[in-house]
């Protein structure tokens, strides 16, 4: 993982890896999140300082596994993109934008920039999203970012209407994917000219102000056969304390 990751989204928005020292930013960013989690029994937020420290420890980029990239305007955290490897050559992408900043196209720009960066810097050929069939904003984001519908998993994602999995209901999930052969040569050239870890697309995709909100594209599951049970470690991108919604 390139810890010097620095993506310029334009409009003074930048993306960088989130680390343990960013706990206060995460606490502040989730303080106004009212949305229920769609894959856990607890509300999405707010995070306590302890929650934030545990989350960022679980997503430490130095560990070489899953990590999260913050979207910042100065010292204000507007949202995050999470990357979760599921097998060699494949990684899941998730995103969250704080409530008051949704509808500005920030998630679209961040997802596009991150997708290009993953293909180029991590040499991972397949990036995928998991989206609720009724989540129209996330479906529009997937299309704008160049993702294509791969498959529909029937009754794959848990509703978390109760804590007992055996008595809970389940809904379908759509898998959308982006492969490295879809990335235009001009995009690779622009990122090479900007130097390692930088992107000069301004912005990477058009801003769609018609979006009512930008929410997470995927829940905690990372495999077709998973049980959708949150992990013990609290995370800004997974577990019942997370701002993840689909």
The pLDDT score that the predictor gives to residue 170 is 78
In a domain, 30, yes or no: yes
The pLDDT score that the predictor gives to residue 142 is 94
In a domain, 245, yes or no: no
Burial, 57: exposed, middle or buried (Cβ in 10 Å; 0-12, 13-18, 19+)?
A: middle
Q: How many residues does the chain have?
A: 246
Note whether 93 and 111 are within 8 A (CB): yes
Total domains, the chain = 1
In a domain, 175, yes or no: yes
**Which of 113, 73, 64, 120 minimizes the C-alpha distance to 93?**
113
The pLDDT score that the predictor gives to residue 187 is 42
The pLDDT score that the predictor gives to residue 70 is 96
In a domain, 143, yes or no: yes
The pLDDT score that the predictor gives to residue 36 is 59
Phi and psi at residue 48, to the nearest 5°: -85, 165
Instruction: Retrieve residue 62's tokens.
Output: 């130095």
76-87/126-131 β-pairing? unpaired
In a domain, 37, yes or no: yes
Domain that holds residue 183: 7-194
In a domain, 225, yes or no: no
Q: Give dist(CA 210, CA 217) in Å, integer.
A: 18
In a domain, 135, yes or no: yes
In a domain, 224, yes or no: no
The pLDDT score that the predictor gives to residue 172 is 82
119 to each of 61, 141, 142, 197, how far by Cα in Å?
17, 18, 16, 12
E strands in the chain: 7-10, 13-17, 67-73, 76-87, 90-97, 126-131, 148-158, 170-179
Q: Could you tell me the pTM of the whole model?
A: 0.72
Residue 167, domain CATH: 3.40.630.30
Note whether 101 and 153 are within 8 A (CB): no
For the chain, 246 residues long, give each residue's pLDDT as a single digit of tens: 556 789 999 999 999 999 999 999 999 998 988 775 544 455 556 888 988 888 899 888 888 889 999 999 999 999 999 999 989 999 999 998 999 999 999 999 999 999 999 999 999 999 999 998 888 999 999 999 999 999 888 777 777 777 777 887 877 889 999 998 876 544 443 333 333 232 222 222 222 222 333 333 433 333 333 433 333 233 334 322 233 334
**Which of 79, 76, 60, 59 minimizes the C-alpha distance to 25?**
76
Phi and psi at residue 2, to the nearest 5°: -80, 100
The pLDDT score that the predictor gives to residue 177 is 96
The pLDDT score that the predictor gives to residue 186 is 41
Q: Give dist(CA 236, CA 58) in Å, integer.
A: 9
The pLDDT score that the predictor gives to residue 42 is 56
Residues 6+ apart with CB under 8 A from 124: 85, 89, 90, 91, 118, 180
């Amino acid at each position: 993982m390139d810890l010097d990751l620095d993506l310029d989204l334009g409009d003074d928005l930048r993306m960088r890896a989130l680390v343990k020292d960013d706990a206060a930013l995460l606490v502040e960013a989730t303080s106004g999140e009212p949305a229920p989690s769609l894959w856990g029994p607890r509300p999405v937020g707010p995070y306590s300082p302890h929650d934030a420290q545990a989350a960022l420890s679980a997503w430490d980029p130095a560990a070489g596994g899953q990590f999260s990239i913050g979207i910042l305007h100065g010292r204000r955290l507007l949202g995050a993109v999470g990357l979760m490897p599921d097998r060699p050559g494949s990684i899941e992408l998730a995103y969250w934008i704080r409530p008051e900043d949704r509808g500005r196209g920030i998630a679209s720009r961040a997802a596009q920039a991150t997708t290009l960066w993953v293909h180029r810097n991590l040499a991972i050929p397949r990036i995928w999203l998991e989206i609720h069939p009724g989540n129209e904003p996330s479906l529009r984001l997937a299309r704008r970012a160049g993702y294509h519908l791969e498959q529909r998993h029937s009754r794959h994602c848990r509703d978390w209407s109760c804590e007992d999995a055996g008595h809970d209901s389940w809904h379908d999930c759509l898998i959308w994917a982006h492969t490295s052969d879809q990335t235009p040569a001009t995009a690779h050239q622009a990122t090479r000219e900007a130097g390692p870890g930088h992107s000069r697309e301004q912005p990477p995709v058009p801003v769609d102000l018609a979006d009512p909100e930008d929410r997470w594209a995927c829940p905690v599951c990372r495999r077709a056969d998973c049980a959708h049970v949150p992990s013990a470690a609290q995370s800004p991108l997974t577990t019942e304390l997370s701002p993840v919604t689909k």
